[in-house]
Amino acid sequence: MLAGAAGIAGGVLLGGAFAASPAAAAVTPPRVYTRAEWGARPATGSIRYLDRQPDHVVVHHTAGANTTDYSLAAAFRHSKWIQDLHMDQNGWIDSGQQLTISRGGYLMEGRQLSLRAITERQHVSGAQTANHNDHTIGIENEGIYVSATPPAALFNSLVRTCAWLCDVYSLDPFEAIVGHRDYVATQCPGDVFYARLPELRQRVAAQLGA
């Protein structure tokens, strides 16, 4: 069962889409480091670029080490590690997720054409949520959060990123933001991170002026 909706004060539901309060300013897009900047390999197959919008944002953790190197260089290395894992071990054509956030809070493009799709209010089908890739956009958060707490820089970046996506796609954060385990039998995004999704939704709604 997906995380339940909550009452929304100051926002309006329009045909299932969320509109922030008229007085709210548009969300400023975060800085996204592109695939070219972090040195991505090209996809080995055709990317499915869909003429539609995603209706859910799926929060993941990468289940990698909880590094204390919060640098941009470490973030780029992590994006390469994810892509190598997904392509060389999983046999996928590219990184499975659309976006990645490092423990230092850096936001990076994942699957090829993901940033273009977001700016065009369309969607690139990934490989991050089995049987739900055509309607969900996935964010990989560096680290493992079964018992550890996400760094503040990472969580704050996730708030800004989800606010941006909800603004672009007119999504209600109380309905749209879910954890990987809401769709698939998995530990992801970790018990501690999953328990903070209500806080994430509330903070995103506040940024949207709801």
**Is 160 within 8 Å of 39 (Cβ atoms)?**
no
Average pLDDT in the 59-69 region? 96
pLDDT of 23 reads 42
What are the Cα distances from residue 9, in Å, to 55, 113, 199, 210? Answer: 21, 35, 16, 6
- What is residue 122's three-state secondary structure? coil
By CB neighbour count within 10 A (0-12 exposed, 13-18 middle, 19+ buried), where does 45 fall?
exposed
What would the pLDDT profile of 88-98 be if each residue is shown by its tens digit? 999 999 999 99
pLDDT classification of 26: cutoffs 50, 70, 90? confident
Please say whether the structural domain 49-208 has been given the CATH code 3.40.80.10: yes
Query: Are 151 and 105 a contacting pair, CB within 8 Å?
Result: yes
pLDDT of residue 10: 32
Check whether 128 has a pLDDT greater than 80: yes
Q: What is the mean pLDDT of residues 109-126?
A: 97
Are the C-beta atoms of 157 and 106 separated by less than 8 Å? yes
The pTM of this model reads 0.89
Among 41, 42, 104, 110, residue whose Cα is nearest residue 70: 104
Please tell me the distance from the alpha carbon of residue 54 to that of residue 174, in angstroms, as a whole number: 15
Collapse the DSSP code of 91 into the 3-class scheme (helix H, G, I; strand E, B; otherwise coil) and give the result: coil
